[in-house]
Chain A
Amino acid sequence: MRKIVIVSAVWCHACLTMRKRIKALKEKYPEWIWVDLDLDLDDDVVDPLKVGKLIPVFIIYENDVEVKRIAGEMSQDALESELNYV
């Protein structure tokens, strides 16, 4: 089972730009579990993830094991291929 954890923030313009692209991918891949986390509001969950200095961050889990982590703003196509290429 694939799970995508997305860490973003309300003050991050790049995260806001990515919203539509993420929404489109959520609709395309409903079989995946999508988890949206806010850097500030969900800090108790986000802090242990150590997301680093660049957001948004996408953490990909395969059967609850982290397999890949990508960060930053990218096009919908680039994000899709990153999420698929595990």
Chain B
Amino acid sequence: MFKKTLVVLAILSALFSMMITTKAYDKTHIYYFYAEGCITCAAEDKYLIELEAKDPNIVIHKYEIAFDKENQALVKQLDEVLNIKIKSTPTLVIGRKTIVGFSKNSTESNIENSIEFFRKNNVRDVIGELLGFVAPGEGFDIDPTEGTIKLPFFGEVNAKTISLPLLAIVLGTLDGFNPCAMWVLLLLISMLFHLEQTWKKWFLGGLFLATTAVMYFMFMLTWLNITLLFGTITYIRLLIAAIALIGGVVNIRTYLKTKPGCEVIDDRKRKKISIRIKQIFAQPVLVLASIGVVVLAISVNLVELICSAGLPVIYTQVLSIQNLSGIQYILYLLLYLLFFMVDDIIIFVIAMKTAQLTGISTKYSRNAHLIGGILMIILGIMMIFRPEWLMLKF
């Protein structure tokens, strides 16, 4: 019933909008942003030439944005004036709708549907107005990011905003259960118990966790920027897909091969870290002890990055094609990070409150390997064959 009411409302609003429309555009202007040397762009280029030849009412404006300074300034202007963000290539803009990436069939039909929607709903050509291709004030300024691209009240954005946080939570949690650096945290907490002042225990333990979080965040942010710049280049996408597939296989293998329990860390390495923590905590100057904790966290987590077998790399790749704002990207990274850190934080807080160490059963980390492995393989296959599905708009 609710759905029917919404459909009726949608039809009514569409009819209403048609009634008050002043004039439809004679031509449909499409704005295409590409980069020299980008293979995906070359494929889209070919398709756009065909499209333009097929439909004489389509005008395609092409902008090279990797090297052309003028076009880079235009991209900046579009962001500042119209809030249209061009973050990677190829990106196609119809009205306010941006279509990032290109894959034969699916992107083609997405473009054609968007053109049809643009024409049917007399969508306002905001870029055309800015650049003087169309007269100002015509059409309706419909923003697809507000969930109104297909039908009012039924926006694609709903699927996107639900599935992206879900992906962040699932991948972050799975990554967090990877117990590679867990042993150092447990060793560190066990030694914290010997400190006399409570505040010092909280401070040094918290500093270790905070450094871990900052380091992981910086790594993910760097990787996100790399994928935003080069992620749509086919080779890079395929490389990340290969990481996903290899990582997936490694994870499933780990699940199958690992017996429940703790693998004994190499004697020398264990003793070295143990002595290092003892020295840090014996340090009477707090600043020096803090530096020691930070350095320890960085060196330990460098190993963790390799150990995570590519989950953050895959997550940032998926994130990079979502065409989000800078703050949204950061918030999604922080969401992943929160769930990545949650088990460490719980263990630390329980230990501090109860003066007892708690462990996480191996069955969770083993299951995380299995689920993570399967997810990575699925994402890897999607990156190769259906990258547009990763835009989480289905």
Contact residues in A for B359 (Cβ distance below 8 Å): 12-19
Judge whether A74 and B183 touch: CB under 8 Å: no
CA distance A40 to B184 in the complex (A): 14
Contact residues in A for B179 (Cβ distance below 8 Å): 13
How many of chain A's residues touch chain B, expressed as a range? 20 to 34
* Contact A13 to B186, CB < 8 A, known contacts A54-B259, A73-B361: yes
Shortest distance between the CB of B185 and any CB in chain A (Å): 8
Shortest distance between the CB of B294 and any CB in chain A (Å): 20
Contact residues in B for A40 (Cβ distance below 8 Å): 270-271, 274
Interface of A is mostly: loop
Contact string against B for A residues 34-57, beta-carbon threshold 8 Å, 1 for contact and 0 otherwise? 000001100000000001111110
Within 8 A of A (CB), among B326-367: 357-363, 365
Question: Any chain A CB within 8 A of the CB of B187?
Answer: yes
Of B264, B357, B360, B363, which is within 8 A of A10 by CB?
A: B357
Judge whether A73 and B264 touch: CB under 8 Å: no
* Contact A14 to B362, CB < 8 A, known contacts A9-B262, A40-B270, A73-B260: yes
How many of chain B's residues touch chain A, expressed as a range? 20 to 34
* Contact A15 to B190, CB < 8 A, known contacts A40-B274, A73-B362: no
Judge whether B187 and A15 touch: CB under 8 Å: no
Instruction: For B360, give the chain A residue with the smallest CB separation.
Output: A13
Contact string against A for B residues 274-289, beta-carbon threshold 8 Å, 1 for contact and 0 otherwise? 1000000000000000
Judge whether A15 and B270 touch: CB under 8 Å: no
Judge whether A13 and B264 touch: CB under 8 Å: no
Contact residues in B for A11 (Cβ distance below 8 Å): 183-184, 186-187, 190, 262, 265, 270
Q: Which of A's residues lie within 8 Å of B, judged by CB? A: 9-19, 39-40, 51-56, 71-74
Q: Sorted from nearest, which 5 A-B pairs have the closest CB atoms?
A: A16-B359, A72-B261, A13-B359, A12-B262, A11-B183
